[in-house]
Amino acid sequence: MFVVRTLPRAAANTLLVGAASPFTPQARNMATLKEISMRLKSVSNIAKITKSMKMIASTKVTKAQRAMEAARVYGNSATALYTHAETTSAADSKDLVIVVSSDRGLCGGIHSSLAKGTRKFLHEHPNSSLAIIGQKARAQLQRDQRAKIAITFDGVSKNLPTWNEAALVADEIFKSGVQFDTAQVVYNQFKSVIAFDTVTVPAHSLKSLSESPKLAAYEVEEPVLKNFEEFTLANTLYWGIAEGNASEQAAKRTAMENATKNADEMIGKLTLTYNRSRQASITNDLIDIITGAMAI
């Protein structure tokens, strides 16, 4: 009687232990599968978004390049007078650094390059003041150069850059009363769809133009020089904005292409992990069924 009573209890205990141990890993596997499935769906949605943004940026790069090429011709022509007249800035001249960025992100380190180049110039010319176009460069420069910021602009060239916008920016700079001998326009020069350089182009004031050694050969009157000063600043700004816009769209295309590639790689790894986990879960279920059948 003792043996007969002991065997069912032992069998019951064995069944309870055997039933408890498979259920815990199975629940854990199911939770893992659900988490992997949710993450796989999330990454797939992100990949769709980045792929769409890459296609949009690719379309905008072509338009931006056409606008940049036109602006580059006029910009080089306007600043050629400085070379022929040998216009230079004095050693103690007060410069106005105009940083040309944008309000949009998701384009790699293009804005960080502008901030880095501006900080380098301000370190070499501590008497300079700042005029910033775009929220991205302003957010980076106001951390340590807040005292030097004289004027800022937002919402410039939301679509393709236009000369009218650049002229309005230049007009606001003159109206603000900022005193400067030379305006140094800092922007990202477009090299190719995968490369750009941060450059600085000067736009001299009326005073610097009047003191040019070879200006007398042109026989230009002072009112004409004043108009030329305003036109050159606007033209240089338009040149910088167009170059920066082309560089931004190219950098955004590259960034979205890399993001899509990384998302595709992650999708492949998650799919492999999901399949392996699902296969392991099915194998454990089959082992439980076979073990139970054999025990019966």
Which pLDDT belongs to residue 227?
87
Which pLDDT belongs to residue 103?
85
Which pLDDT belongs to residue 36?
85
Q: What is the CA radius of gyration of the chain?
A: 33
Cα–Cα distance measured from residue 287 to residue 281, given in angstroms and rounded to the nearest whole number: 10
Render pLDDT for 88-131 as a digit per residue (tens, 0 to 9). Answer: 777 777 889 999 998 888 777 788 889 899 999 888 888 889 99
Render pLDDT for 42-98 as a digit per residue (tens, 0 to 9). Answer: 999 999 998 998 888 888 888 888 889 888 888 888 778 888 877 777 777 788 999
**Mean pLDDT over residues 254-282, rounded?**
88
Render pLDDT for 162-186 as a digit per residue (tens, 0 to 9). Answer: 889 999 999 999 988 888 888 999 9
Which one of 3.40.1380.10, 3.40.190.10, 3.40.50.970, 3.30.2080.10 gives the CATH number of domain 55-255?
A: 3.40.1380.10
Which pLDDT belongs to residue 86?
78
Residue 221 has pLDDT above 80, yes or no: no
How many CB atoms neighbour CB 125 within 10 A?
Answer: 16
* Whether the Cβ atoms of residue 101 and residue 114 lie closer than 8 Å to each other: yes
Render pLDDT for 131-165 as a digit per residue (tens, 0 to 9). Answer: 999 888 888 898 888 888 999 998 887 778 888 99
* Whether the Cβ atoms of residue 244 and residue 228 lie closer than 8 Å to each other: no
Q: How far is CA 3 from the centre of its chain?
A: 78
Strand order in the sheet with 129-133: 149-153, 129-133, 95-100, 182-192, 195-204
Which pLDDT belongs to residue 2?
33
Which pLDDT belongs to residue 261?
92
Which pLDDT belongs to residue 4?
37
Structure tokens at 209: 């133009």
Spatial neighbors of 208 by CB under 8 A, at least 6 apart, are 87, 88, 89, 90, 93, 181, 182
Which pLDDT belongs to residue 16?
36
Which pLDDT belongs to residue 133?
93
